[in-house]
Structure 1
Amino acid sequence: MYKKLYLILFFMSLYCVTAQTQTEIYLIGTVHKKSKILTPEILFDILEQIKPDVILQENDSQQIKTFLDDIEPDSNEQNATLWYLKKYPKTLNLPFEFEGRNEYRRKHGMVPADAETIDLLDSLYQAKLLNKKEMKIYADYLHANTELKAYGNKTFKELNSEQFDSINRIRQHIQHNELQKITSENDYFAKRFIVKPDGKKISYRNGYRLWCNFWDLRNNSMAINIIRIANENMGKRIVVLTGVQHKYYIKELLKKYEDGSYTVVDYFK
């Protein structure tokens, strides 16, 4: 009897310790520039309500070094964070982005292959030069974009809703998977090229493929960085400020790898 009671008390105490030290992660899907749907003031109010110990920015280590100095007047995340750090100077402001993101994409020809490929796809679609299957894929892509753009006239809470995430998940799947079916099978994309910084050429087809693959690599890297920082700040409250189109992907990864040391909290519920 005493042994059973001891075990019950032991596991209760273990649960209490875990509950006390569990890190809280708040994912906030943002738009980077001041707009009708989000302003620095709105974002600052959210930070004030959550009271984070750590704020994670969609920056890499080099970008975070100039975060306090190279100020963009229309940046929602930067201005809201600066106001919060001024009021709560002990708050940690850290990066969680894929290291060297922009240079990595340029070096491998992903940029501007991404935009050039979409422009060519759109031209072929408008001219009805795609086959029936390809026309359907691109039409679905346009429809998903239209649905997402409608959220620009809604509230910031709706932008962070499961409904938005559901539409965004579909849109990103089409953009990074279905459109590749067109670019990989259509010679238009094999015969158009861009020049990489090293002077070598890469086809729209291959550049776009690399860009699509990078979508997975980037989101996985960001999720891993968030988990690492959470483990380094056990029991703290963390706010992750990420572009809203990344939110569903990062949230799914954090849920997938959740081991009890942290919990993902939905501020908007």
Structure 2
Amino acid sequence: MKKTISILFTLLFSIYSFAQKTEIIVLGNIHQPVPNYNSDTIVTILDKIKPDFLLQEIDSSFFNVDFTFKTPPKENEGLASVKYIDKNTKAQMRPFDFEGRNEYRKINGFNPTEGLALKLVDSLYNENRLTKKQAKVYKKYIDLLEPLKIAASKDPRSFNNSINDKICKERQYYQYHKLLSVMKERSELSNTYYTQANAQKISYLKGFQLASEFWDLRNKTMAKNILKIAEENPGKKIIVLTGFMHRYYIISELKKLTKKDRNIIMKEFYD
């Protein structure tokens, strides 16, 4: 009798555990409408997988207290989410981005110095002023963008797979690590300054270095925010709507964070 009760309890627990499985789908997107990808493309995906929560790559300042948008969205992800929720009223949105992202960039001075630093290196490259080794790094950085452009011109699955993720990872490694090493070797970057609104000056090198550090901080923070939402909503299906360049990092971090949690499953939208 005791053995029967034990087996029954184990069976019931297994059924309960299965019912509480939380699915996380990280969908890499192109933010702005293009001929092959727009909000309707995302809606088609959403209609297929039927998510309970739609996570947006923005912070809480964009939302009302009921997690509706304060202002009408302009990007593909937001537009698609509104369309989907209009038809599926129980579905909800949540922000998962680094809080105060844009202000953080301005306060710390790497907006716009990151872009200015890249433009300066580009001009040095085009003027043949980089060393052969430095030029090789920059050319590789440029070349890595080409297969990503090709993938982005195709269907969603083309830029939502492990092969494309690997290219994104290498490209961002070249941008925030290899290029940073090149910049550290060039006096033009350390001796060129941008004057911020508060009248403080920041070198292009320092600005880019801060941007490099923020790339890691932001992605790790986003993954933690996603996990927090998942843990607060067991048994739900969650879709993470992010730019496809972030996809590899977020997936990698989530796998680390959920390594010992059998109740959270990572899936692709086409599984």
Mapped to 1, the partners of 2:87 and 2:175 lie a distance apart of: 41
The amino acid of 1:38's aligned partner reads Y
> Secondary structure in 1 aligned to 2:150?
helix
- Aligned partners of 1:205, 1:7: CA distance in 2, in Å? 65
Contact 1:60 1:96 in 2 (8 A): yes
Matched residue type, 1:26: I
The residue that corresponds to 2:133 in the other structure is 133
Q: What whole-Å deviation, never above 9, does each CA across 1:68-102 have from its counterpart, x for those lacking one? A: 352245x2112111111111122111100000101
User: Which residue number in structure 2 is paired with residue 194 of structure 1?
Assistant: 194
Structure 2-normalised TM-score? 0.93
Partners of 2:21 and 2:265 within 8 A in 1: yes
Distance in structure 2 (CA, Å) of the matches to 1:124 and 1:112: 19
Residue 47 of structure 1 aligns with which residue?
Answer: 46
Alignment RMSD (CA, Å): 1.8
1:219 pairs with 2:222: no
Shift of 1:153: 2.5
SS at match of 1:56: strand
Q: Superposition pairs for residues 79-158 of structure 1, below 5 Å? A: 79-158=79-158
Q: Which amino acid aligns with 2:176?
A: H
Comparing 58-67 with 137-146, which one deviates more in the overlay? Answer: 58-67
Question: Normalising to structure 1: TM-score of the pair?
Answer: 0.93
Q: What residue number does 1:26 align with?
A: 25
**1:133 CA displacement:** 1.4
Structure 2 residue aligned with 1:62:
61
- Note if contact 1:54-1:238 (Cα within 8 Å) is conserved in structure 2: yes
Question: Structure 1 pair 261/188, CA: closer, same or farther in 2 (3 Å)?
Answer: same
CA contact (8 A) 1:31 1:76 kept: yes
Map Cα deviations across residues 212-234 of structure 1 (whole Å, 9 max, x no partner): 10000000010000000001111
1:115-159 CA-partner distances (Å, limit 9, x unpaired): 101101111111111112111110110110122112233211111
For residues 40-86 of structure 1, what are the alpha-carbon distances to aligned partners after superposition, in whole Å with 9 as ceiling and x for unaligned?
A: 1111111111111111001100012396352245x211211111111
Given candidates 260, 263, 266, the residue that maps to 2:262 is 260
Instruction: Give the conservation status (yes or no) of the 8 Å contact 1:160–1:268.
Output: no
Q: Could you tell me which residue of structure 2 aligns to residue 185 of structure 1?
A: 185
Question: d(CA) in 1 for partners of 2:268 and 2:43?
Answer: 17
Match of 1:238 in 2: 238
Cα distance change on mapping 1:198 and 1:67 into 2, 3 Å: farther
Structure 2 residues without counterparts, runs of 5 or longer = none
Aligned partners of 2:211, 2:62: CA distance in 1, in Å? 21
